[in-house]
Chain A
Amino acid sequence: MQRVIAIFIRHIYLLRRSPHRMIGMLYWPTMELFLWGFLTLYLNRIGAAEFNFVTVLLSALIFWDFFNRSQQALSVSFLEDVWVRNVGNVLASPIRPVEYLFGLILVSIFQTIVSLSFIASLAYVFWQLNLFQFGFWLLPFFANLYITGWAMGIFATALILRLGPSTDVLAWSLPLLLQPLSAVFYPVTVLPGWLQTVAHWLPTTYIFEGMRAIIFSQEFIATDVVRAFLLNLVYISLAIFGFALSYRSVRRRGTLQRYSD
């Protein structure tokens, strides 16, 4: 446990020393919130919709940012070690790869809580959107979003470890692959039939559909939670397996050296 906490504490040191790291946690989501917030006000004004765009679109944005943050916090914390050539020092210590991943997950939990609290407060102050009005029903969906984010983060980390430091852009770009298919801002039925089939293999589809059902009709669809969780179990297992394969591969091929020189 000490080794897991050491990884987390190192991250807190970095935040304390370089507050600009807060930009990723607070600045981007805030800018997105304001952009979408004003857009939803405009849509409310010109449209004659039966529902409030603010609640639907801003909630979706906040949930997506939560997923994005949980993935990026994990991958970028690994990149912090890559950028300062510290991967060799860490992996030559007694820390086990799984402990290292748990340390990164702690960082992810911390960052998402800070980021979510901040933008949920802004959404309340400026658009009177109160996420907590939906009670505890959203919690199983948030838990699932965490797991999807970690699976994606571990997968991105495994790819960067395997392919080399120059592929660090994967840490930011991978989640975008899921966004059009995950029914974040629209129902999955909007997609063409064959894309719906693909979408149903993604846990995020069930998460966002389930969250929207709570917001629209205060209906908690337990099967969405269960389906998302089962898919998450498969994907996080595959991601950890992929990380183990990458780690073994770089140790065999001697390419860990490129993270130290």
Chain B
Amino acid sequence: MPQTILDVQHLSKRYRDFWAVHDVSFRLQERETVGLLGPNGAGKTTTIQMLLGLLEPSEGQITVLGKSLAAHRSTVLGQMNFAATYASLPGNLSIQENLRFFAGLYSVPDRKARIDELLERFRLTAFRRKRTGTLSSGEQTRLSLAKAFLNKPQLLLLDEPTASLDPDTAAQMRQEILSQAEQFRTAILWTSHNMFEMEKMCQRIIFLSHGQILAEGSPEELVRKFKQPNLEETFIALARQKEL
């Protein structure tokens, strides 16, 4: 029986009388990739920020590998990692320095070998001494992904990880993410506005709107349930349905 990696129960975040996220519950099993979909302002980033411990939930529980994030923050965060478009790595350090710095923060064992391996896998070896701030956005994304796999995470949070990549590089990076995740039995929570990517990568989709789960299921199930030709049309239908 697959192990539960992430268990989110009745998660809510309220700012005065506005619920950014309201009573959200879901689980992720090992090796499972789940897409978190929703229009802008649906609560995806708020949910991810709470999962990363950067935002304190108003209500609810987050448990990773049986341990509460609130009670065992450091241990839990050591088993996770993330890459997000809004969290670029320090531009005044080189690629190699950034990876060494984060390897230290995540207490990565045998860090030189691990960094060399990731530089190779994410095609960054040639410019390992280049300052991060001078990299193209695609190279910076690859560096963020390399950093996200440094500690061989059990749970990986990816917030639009391929948004700035060309289709060819994006396909290669998706393949690399899958390969690393398979190797370490990583569960992935993935947000994206690229419906092709979501259909291809995710076994299950959670559709958020106005801070609540509106629908959940495999991409095929959702398309069938809402009688749409594909996931993109399903997304549009769901987003508009809630607006009405």
Docked-complex contact A94 and B89, CB < 8 angstroms: no
Q: Chain B contacts of A92 at CB under 8 A?
A: 52-54, 77, 82, 87
Chain A 112-145 near chain B by CB (<8 Å), digits 1 or 0: 0000000000000000000000000000000000
Nearest residue (CB) in B for A17 is B92
Complex: A5 Cα to B105 Cα, angstroms: 9
> How many residue pairs, one in A and one in B, have C-beta atoms under 8 Å apart?
91
Docked-complex contact B87 and A6, CB < 8 angstroms: no
Docked-complex contact A3 and B107, CB < 8 angstroms: yes
Docked-complex contact B91 and A91, CB < 8 angstroms: no
Which DSSP category, helix, strand, loop or mixed, fits chain A's interface? helix
Docked-complex contact A5 and B89, CB < 8 angstroms: no
Q: Chain A contacts of B74 at CB under 8 A?
A: 94-96
Q: Chain B contacts of A96 at CB under 8 A?
A: 73-74
Q: Chain B contacts of A251 at CB under 8 A?
A: 53-56
Q: Chain B contacts of A3 at CB under 8 A?
A: 104-105, 107
Task: Tell yes or no: A45 within 8 A of B by CB.
Answer: no
Q: Count B interface residues, CB 8 Å.
A: 35
Q: Chain A contacts of B90 at CB under 8 A?
A: 10, 81, 84, 86
Complex: A89 Cα to B20 Cα, angstroms: 22
Task: Tell yes or no: A52 within 8 A of B by CB.
Answer: no
Q: Chain B contacts of A260 at CB under 8 A?
A: 86-87
Task: Tell yes or no: A261 within 8 A of B by CB.
Answer: yes
Complex: A89 Cα to B99 Cα, angstroms: 12
Smallest CB separation, A250 vs chain B (Å): 9
Docked-complex contact A14 and B93, CB < 8 angstroms: yes
Smallest CB separation, B41 vs chain A (Å): 14
User: What are some 18 contacts across the A-B interface (CB < 8 A)?
Assistant: A3-B104, A6-B102, A9-B101, A13-B94, A17-B92, A17-B93, A17-B94, A81-B90, A86-B89, A91-B53, A91-B54, A92-B82, A254-B13, A254-B49, A254-B55, A256-B54, A257-B55, A260-B86
